[in-house]
Structure formats: structure tokens, C-alpha cells
Amino acid sequence: MFLPISKEDLIERNIESLDFIFISGDAYVDHPSFGIAIISRMLESYGFTVGIIAQPNINNNADFKELGTPKLGFLVSSGNIDSMVNHYSVSKRRRTKDMYSPGGKMGLRPDYATIRYSQKVRELFPNSNIIIGGIEASLRRLAHYDYWKNNVRKSILIDSKADLLVYGMSELSIVEVAEYLKSGLDIKDIIFIKGTVYKTRNKDYIPSNAIKLPTYDNILADKKTYAKSFMIKHDNTDYISAKPLLEKYKNHFIIQNPPNRPITREEMDNIYSLPFERNYHPIYQKLGHIPAIDEVKFSIISNRGCYGGCSFCALTYHQGRIIQSRSKDSIVKEAIKITNDKDFKGYIHDIGGPTANFYDEACDKQAKHGVCVNKQCLEDKPCPLLKVSHSNYLSILREVRELPKIKKVFVRSGIRYDYVMYDKNKEFFNELVEYHVSGQLKVAPEHISDVVLQKMNKPKRELYDSFVKRYYELNKKYGKDQYLVPYLISSHPGSTLKEAIELACYIRDLKYYPEQVQDFYPTPGTMSTCMFYTGLDPRTMEKVYVPIKKEDKAMQRALIQYRNPKNYNLVYKALTLAHRTDLIGFSRHCLIKPRP
């Protein structure tokens, strides 16, 4: 049974008033790939009643009043994806499709949805508690650079007028908050729960061991100060070593409590066994299909967290670096449940997570000491303590692919090719190619210039070249005709025209023509975004070249797609500016021909 979404649902279930009302920027999909569904079902499992208001019209007060006034508070989230990333391309052009809305229709949620929804709730329900969360709130929990407005914004807790923010994968935190609210504690006094951020004017509510960040005014005035502040935040994301962080504003103190602990395997199994309907709400059958369900309906989440440490990714800031994974038994049970779906055609689309082949903890010391503050598990070379093994993940793939009704089990959520290459046992790589590739394998070298890869915190090019060579050798061995689809990022901090041309020449030699190119997208919470805004590498405080001008970015993007006739003028100009006219000609090594 879906959670209540209307007054009629409340009457039918004999609910006079709900404990919580969840306002979401997504259409209501009751599937464990959707954070709103997990948090709602989690609260329900602890005896709380929860209703869903999905995609309310920001200009229609009646939408927000549909379920009445909650006893304990409103939960507000933009949905599974940041509303600004959802609405705008990196060139800040309005997108035409919203995968999380009926029929893919765009415009059913406002820009900065968490802020707008929360402000509306505060206007209509001035005495109700408001708790914000989800990816949009999590990455904006403290002062941050906003790419779309090109300025440094305050903590979202201030702009939204909410009472409390829960960040990260917040099942543990939200249940604890709910229990204290139920006990009668005022939300303004809930200042001690890990994984939360609160605001106060009372100095007595500041933890004695809090690290004082530069004030908002100071980071606003000086980019170097911003970079230093960012690194303090970056180094305080582990649940064992992190300290409370204090950020001062003119009228408020914002305090970020340390992250909550990772959930145990048993807890994660319980979460994914909750009674999800595994589909979108029936009301959308008339309004239109929800496109986002297509890829995840027959996929299985096996793990959370990522110790890859890519500079351009916010995963470590949101989910943390410690891997949390489900048991094989739990995953197999979900696979069996999927096979009984009337629409199942025999294909499990994915078993994975942020990184599919990160199933086990990185090293033994993390359980006692947490993750290293000044060292990554995977950099140019792996940490000597890193446990490199695919045996447990491979065991899951083997068992699921042998289940009745299953034709194929694919791995689509992306793998770390460097981790695959570091594994001395080659069984996983062999079986990945033989059984688990759906025609093409997506990998993410991101770039091939070692200068740029260092800024991205990715391994050097030679390792990727070795992976590619081995991949095609295995395809030949197993009689497969499967391809690699490399994700490439243009205009990342550190990439000049020289490095962009280096990438174009690599594509030329690979005889690969990328249909899509991703310009670097400066989203809140990432180290690369800090570089983009400040022009500094916050790890060293050294200057970094940043492609910011529109034409510079366009040239770097065009170089990756140099075969497209529409890009000729941009490629010609780039090669001329970089003094690489040797690449303009008729020989095989040239990228383009001379002008007629």
C-alpha cells in the first residue's frame, strides 16, 4: 500500500492527523532507489505516520494544505536530484525533460526547490517544525559557491527558514529526531544528533570542541579564505574523526554536527526489506509515466559510499567514504522478488551503487579509526592498506545470474577500472566481460592528461591504457563484440588548450567518436568546484588554470568532437591559438583539414 497522498487516503486509514508530511520535488515513486521512499518507509517502520505531497504547485497554497497540519513536522526535499542540476545544463540552458516528473514534463518543481518549498511551508504553517534533507540540502549545509548565481550563498538552513537539516544518508538521524520530537522536546533544543545541522543565536548551544570556520563575511570577501574553509569541511566528513563545525553569520551561528555512523549490514538489509511498492503511485497512470523508474525498477542497490575520492564528485561529502553494503542473502531475495514482477523480461539491469565494484570496506583500520584525513585510498597509486578483492561481489553476481527466470545480470552503475586492474585475481574481470556487459561497458577515465588527472584525483593514463588493452583481449577470448564507452570531462580545472588537444589526439588514435561530452559542472560540495571558483587547489593553495570564458570552454568541448563539421571553426581557432597547426592538414595524424 502506498503512503497517503490525499484527504481521502487519511479518512480511509482512519488517520486524524499525520506525524510527518513529506514534501518532495519528485513525483511519488515508492522504490528503494528514491530517498523520499526510504525515509518515509523507515519512519513508518518505527510507528510514525507519514504522508506525501509530491511536486506541489508553489503558487497554490491548497496543495500544501492537502494533508493538514502534521503533529511533529514537515520534511522537505528537492527529490533524488539537485533541482538546479535537474533544470539546467552546464551552459545554464533550461533542460526540456524532467525524468522524475509525470511524462518527463519540465517545470513541476521550482528552482532551488528545497528553499522555495520550505519558505512556503513557513508562511502557511508558521508554528510547524520544518526539517530539510536530501542531496540538495546536504551539499548546501554550509556556505557554498553557487554556480547558477555565480556567488557564495549562505547555508541553506538560513535561506530556507527551516529549523533543522539532516545531511547524508540520513535514516539513523531522522529516526532519532522523530523520537525526540515525539517525546516533546522542542526542535530548537535538538542540537546534539549526529548527521544534523542547526542554527542558533545562543552561544551556550555551541559545542566546546567545535572548529571555528572563517565567517561568512570573510569567505565572501576573500577566495583564499574560502578555499581554506572548504578544506576544513572536506577534512571533517568522517564519523570518528570529525569535529563539530561552527560557521558564523551576522545574526546566526550555524553548527554542523559530525556525521552519523555508517549503517550496519543488518540495518541496510532491513531498510531494503521494507514494504516498498517498487513503482510510481497509480495517480500517474493518467498523468504520465515517470521515466526515472525505467532504469532502476529492475536494478538492485548493493552498496553505499565511495572511497574513490574524485575531486569533481560530491559523493564523499554526501554518503561518506566508508562502504556500507547489503548481505548476499538480502540481494538475492530482492532479485527473486524482481523476477516475479509481471513486467520482468529476464534482465537485471544493475547490481551496484555509486561504484559497483566497491562492495567491501577499504581497509581494516577504518572500523576503529575511521578514514584517513590527509590520504586517499586510491590516488595515483593505491594505499598499501587497501584491500583489493572482488570475491564477495563476484559471489553475488554468480548466484543471481543462476536464478530461474534470469537471462542476464548487467553491471551498469560504473566500475573503478583502476581497482579492477589492482586485483591480482583476474576472475572478476574475466566474468565481467563474459557475463555482465550489456554490449558496452561504461568507464570513467574522465581525461587522459596526467596534469588534469592529478587535479581530478584520478590515476595516470597508463593504467587506463592497460585496462583498455586487457578489456579487448578478453572480448576476443570470449568471442564478444563489446565496446568501451569512456566518460570524458572537458574544461575541468587544470585543463588548458594544450591538455584539451592532448585528449583530442587520444580520441583520434582510439578511433572513437563521443556523441556526448560533459563539460565540467561546478556543483556544490566538490573540490573541483572550489578550484573553479577560487582558481586555487585547496589541497596545496597553488594556482590552477580554470577555463571560465565561454569561448574557451566551447573550444575544449569542440576538440573532443573535432569530427563534427559544426565544430570546425572552434577547432581551427583552438589549434591556431595553441600553436598546433601541425594538426591541420591531410595526413593521418591531423584532426582537421585546411580551410578551402
Query: 457 and 433 share a domain?
Result: no
Helix (H) / strand (E) element for 497: namely helix 497-510
Query: 494 and 583 share a domain?
Result: yes
Whether residue 169 is contained in a domain is answered as yes
Query: 453 and 555 share a domain?
Result: yes
Name the β-bridge partners of 524: none
Contact present, 27 and 55 (Cβ < 8 Å): yes
Whether residue 285 is contained in a domain is answered as no
Rounded distance between C-alpha atoms, residue 77 and residue 25, angstroms: 6
Give how far Cα 461 sits from Cα of 380, 448, 450, 467, Å: 10, 5, 6, 10
Phi-psi domain of 457 (left: phi exceeds 0; alpha: psi -120 through 50; beta: other): left
Contact present, 513 and 502 (Cβ < 8 Å): no
Rounded distance between C-alpha atoms, residue 5 and residue 28, angstroms: 9
Q: What percentage of the chain exceeds 90 in pLDDT?
A: 92
Of 421, 438, 455, the domain-final residue: 438
Residue 282: the pLDDT is 95
**287-318 pLDDT tens trace:** 889 999 998 999 999 999 999 989 999 988 99
Say whether pLDDT at 515 is over 80. no
Number of folded domains that form the chain: 3
Residue 514: the pLDDT is 82
Domain range for 379: 298-438
Query: 247 and 114 share a domain?
Result: yes
CB within 8 Å of 204: residues ≥ 6 apart: none
Whether residue 290 is contained in a domain is answered as no
Query: 55 and 182 share a domain?
Result: yes
**What do you get for the CA distance between the two ends of the chain, in Å?**
67
**91-149 pLDDT tens trace:** 999 999 999 999 999 999 999 999 999 999 999 999 999 999 999 999 999 999 999 99
Q: What is the mean pLDDT of residues 329-344?
A: 96
Query: 314 and 331 share a domain?
Result: yes
Contact present, 326 and 302 (Cβ < 8 Å): yes
Computed from CA positions of residues 556, 562, 567, 572, in that sequence, does the dihedral angle turn out positive or negative? positive
Whether residue 261 is contained in a domain is answered as no
**352-377 pLDDT tens trace:** 999 999 999 999 999 889 999 888 89
Contact present, 74 and 126 (Cβ < 8 Å): no
Rounded distance between C-alpha atoms, residue 590 and residue 108, angstroms: 47
Query: 472 and 389 share a domain?
Result: no
Residue 159 grid cell:
535561506
Residue 512: the pLDDT is 80
Query: 334 and 385 share a domain?
Result: yes
Of 256, 288, 312, the domain-final residue: 256
Query: 177 and 203 share a domain?
Result: yes
Query: 526 and 504 share a domain?
Result: yes
Whether residue 138 is contained in a domain is answered as yes
533 pLDDT band, cuts 50/70/90, is: very high
Q: CA 219: distance to chain centroid?
A: 25
Query: 137 and 63 share a domain?
Result: yes
CB within 8 Å of 47: residues ≥ 6 apart: none
Query: 419 and 455 share a domain?
Result: no
Q: What percentage of the chain exceeds 70 in pLDDT?
A: 100
Q: Which residue has the higher pLDDT, 379 or 457?
A: 457
Rg, the chain, Cα only = 25
Q: Which of 138-147, 307-316, 473-482, 494-503 has the lowest mean pLDDT?
A: 307-316
- 547: domain CATH number is 3.30.750.200
Burial degree of 418 (CB within 10 A; 0-12, 13-18, 19+): buried
Residue 451: the pLDDT is 95
**38-62 pLDDT tens trace:** 999 999 999 999 999 999 999 999 9
Whether residue 176 is contained in a domain is answered as yes
Residue 25: the pLDDT is 98
- 363: domain CATH number is 3.30.750.210
Question: What pTM was computed for the model?
Answer: 0.95
Whether residue 467 is contained in a domain is answered as yes
Say whether pLDDT at 516 is over 80. no
21 pLDDT band, cuts 50/70/90, is: very high
Mind giving me the DSSP string for 374-424?
S--SBSSSB-TT-----HHHHHHHHHHHTSTT--EE---S---HHHHHH-S
**165-200 pLDDT tens trace:** 999 999 999 999 999 999 999 999 999 999 999 999
Mean pLDDT taken over the chain: 95
Of 419, 438, 457, the domain-final residue: 438
Q: What is the mean pLDDT of residues 574-585?
A: 96
Whether residue 270 is contained in a domain is answered as no
- 204: domain CATH number is 3.40.50.2300
Say whether pLDDT at 333 is over 80. yes
414 pLDDT band, cuts 50/70/90, is: confident
Residue 324: the pLDDT is 96
Among all chains, which residue has been given the C-alpha cell 562492495?
359
Residue 379: the pLDDT is 78
Rounded distance between C-alpha atoms, residue 557 and residue 566, angstroms: 12
**233-278 pLDDT tens trace:** 999 999 999 999 999 999 999 999 999 999 999 999 999 999 999 9
Residue 571: the pLDDT is 97
Query: Closest by alpha carbon to 344, among 292, 409, 392?
Result: 409
Contact present, 416 and 379 (Cβ < 8 Å): no
Among all chains, which residue has been given the C-alpha cell 588548450?
497
